[in-house]
Chains A and B, each alone.
Chain A
């Protein structure tokens, strides 16, 4: 009963960082409740080869549902397998990452299990046996502390907020073949298109290089791409609403209340003045850097470090310094 289940996610066959974070979180919550963390991984035949890694992040057992039809996300099949697994077990909480997949899957699971759902949690603690969830509302202009009066407590967890803690522990992996019948599916993916320029999504990136109207022209984004590349593989590009509305950047890059709310380790706002909707979407970032020529821009009120100056001079220098630093590592 006091056990906590994690629905882990793979992408391109690898367990995602967000899944590791949720597993470590679940291990802590389960310990407070007097139980242990378990993980459920869904994937293609052979997916179990990746599963053992979750043991090191705190899963005592890892069940792997292997089926060719689960190789990529199909909402109805995934929801059905998760719901059967939850029903067969006895969990006080079920946690999953609030990624695109998790945001699509969690409400379906909630409706099928008839339990409420709290999404995109940034805090989770056990208070006298009750799980208390903290989550942003109004895109981060306020935070709500919630109790879910149902079992299991179903919560999706915002990526990048909790740390994945690696230990020497090993989880026991078991594999099963679920009943999956594609003929019953109401939706099917016809085509997957890769975005150009990196596959790290802005919502999951550990470093975000974000540009606003101060960039003056979409062709100047090569400066930001250079900085992103210098930062390494966990970095992604972001954008303010103004430049998305102007058609300079895709909506998938937009940070803010009508875009994505993000919490990276490092957020670099370049030529972004800092409208209230934008600040709401990025203010929980661990470290914020602002580069802007206007010293009175509101972005400087939330930035840990600011440089006042011409971004067309500052950004190339920053790229150069970061590249030199990384080369020395």
Chain B
């Protein structure tokens, strides 16, 4: 079975975010970029599905500038078979991104297209289900594990206060959250092999953004807090402050 995994290049979650002079984007200097963490979980599940079946391919798809090549090589080093980079300016308009990806995926016969549940930069949590609608595929979001059988995929997903078992007909789009399996590290052999794997780069279909960023700002500073005291004897004073000052309980 053919699987497509969509990857996004994002700043490492350890990164301290600084806003640039324009006030509408971040300063990329000194920022280390990685595969968005949830996209890595998606890739891990795709690779495990392929390995369990003993056949099939895992193709990567990304949209962004040419630096995405590096991100895709990392995915190839983890074990994907090939990659396509659609070059263009990614924006915060997830629907514009979804249209770019959908234009590529419309012609694909892949039964499964996987996304991370959300990207660790914009946190918009929307492109996967939008691509599903635009390409007329079934969609299940927040999937922690799945099993493919004849014509369907059975997914476990997290919901408030519990979990659900959901069956979707193929072809389907799944958005993947953290599950049982940590993403594998690329082996040296994998890194060497990745250099020879096909990575096609082509310009993305042009879709304008309809979300305009007026400005970025630092999170509001929290007023300085205080140490109420040491050890259990400080508890009555803490409880008093929570009730009378913070009105939190």
Residues of A within 8 A of B (CB): 11, 75, 79, 99-101, 103-104, 106-108, 110-112, 114-120, 132, 135-150, 186-195, 198-201, 203-204, 207, 231, 244-245, 251-252, 254, 257-259, 261, 265-266, 276-277, 283-284, 286-289, 295, 300-310, 313-314, 316-318, 321-322, 325
Which A residues lie within 8 Å of B236 (CB)? 321
Find out whether the CB atom of B177 lies under 8 angstroms from the CB atom of A251. Answer: yes
Once A107-B130, A137-B121, A314-B232 are accepted as A-B contacts, the answer to whether A193 and B162 lie under 8 Å apart by CB is yes
Question: Does residue B141 face the partner (Cβ distance < 8 Å to A)?
Answer: yes
Could you tell me the distance between the alpha carbons of A317 and B11 in the complex, rounded to whole angstroms?
Answer: 42
Question: Does residue B54 face the partner (Cβ distance < 8 Å to A)?
Answer: no
Could you tell me the distance between the alpha carbons of A190 and B155 in the complex, rounded to whole angstroms?
Answer: 10
Once A104-B129, A258-B37, A325-B243 are accepted as A-B contacts, the answer to whether A305 and B228 lie under 8 Å apart by CB is yes
Which B residues lie within 8 Å of A191 (CB)? 164-165
Find out whether the CB atom of A310 lies under 8 angstroms from the CB atom of B162. Answer: no
Which A residues lie within 8 Å of B241 (CB)? 305
Once A104-B141, A191-B165 are accepted as A-B contacts, the answer to whether A309 and B94 lie under 8 Å apart by CB is no
Question: Does residue B92 face the partner (Cβ distance < 8 Å to A)?
Answer: yes
Could you tell me the distance between the alpha carbons of A140 and B161 in the complex, rounded to whole angstroms?
Answer: 24
> Closest residue of chain A to B117, judged by CB?
A103
> Closest residue of chain B to A149, judged by CB?
B210
Find out whether the CB atom of B234 lies under 8 angstroms from the CB atom of A307. Answer: yes
Interface majority SS (helix, strand, loop, mixed), chain B:
mixed
A-B contact list, 29 entries, CB within 8 Å: A103-B141, A111-B95, A116-B211, A117-B94, A117-B126, A120-B125, A137-B122, A138-B120, A139-B120, A143-B219, A144-B92, A145-B213, A186-B137, A192-B163, A192-B164, A193-B165, A195-B161, A204-B160, A251-B177, A258-B120, A258-B178, A265-B248, A283-B222, A306-B227, A307-B230, A314-B234, A314-B235, A322-B249, A325-B243
Minimum Cβ distance to chain A for residue B246 (Å): 4
> Closest residue of chain B to A194, judged by CB?
B162
Question: Does residue B242 face the partner (Cβ distance < 8 Å to A)?
Answer: yes
Find out whether the CB atom of B211 lies under 8 angstroms from the CB atom of A189. Answer: no
Minimum Cβ distance to chain B for residue A328 (Å): 11
Minimum Cβ distance to chain B for residue A248 (Å): 14
Could you tell me the distance between the alpha carbons of A304 and B228 in the complex, rounded to whole angstroms?
Answer: 9
Find out whether the CB atom of B229 lies under 8 angstroms from the CB atom of A266. Answer: no
Which B residues lie within 8 Å of A288 (CB)? 222, 225
Minimum Cβ distance to chain B for residue A241 (Å): 9
**Size range of the chain B interface in the assembly:** 35 or more
Could you tell me the distance between the alpha carbons of A30 and B150 in the complex, rounded to whole angstroms?
Answer: 49
A258, A301, A310: the one contacting B231 at CB < 8 Å is A310
Question: Does residue B139 face the partner (Cβ distance < 8 Å to A)?
Answer: yes
Residue of B124, B140, B229 with most partner-chain A CB within 10 A: B124
Could you tell me the distance between the alpha carbons of A258 and B217 in the complex, rounded to whole angstroms?
Answer: 21
A136, A251, A309: the one contacting B230 at CB < 8 Å is A309
Which B residues lie within 8 Å of A110 (CB)? 94-95, 126, 130
Minimum Cβ distance to chain A for residue B224 (Å): 9
B167-210, CB < 8 A from A: 167-169, 172, 177-179, 182, 209-210
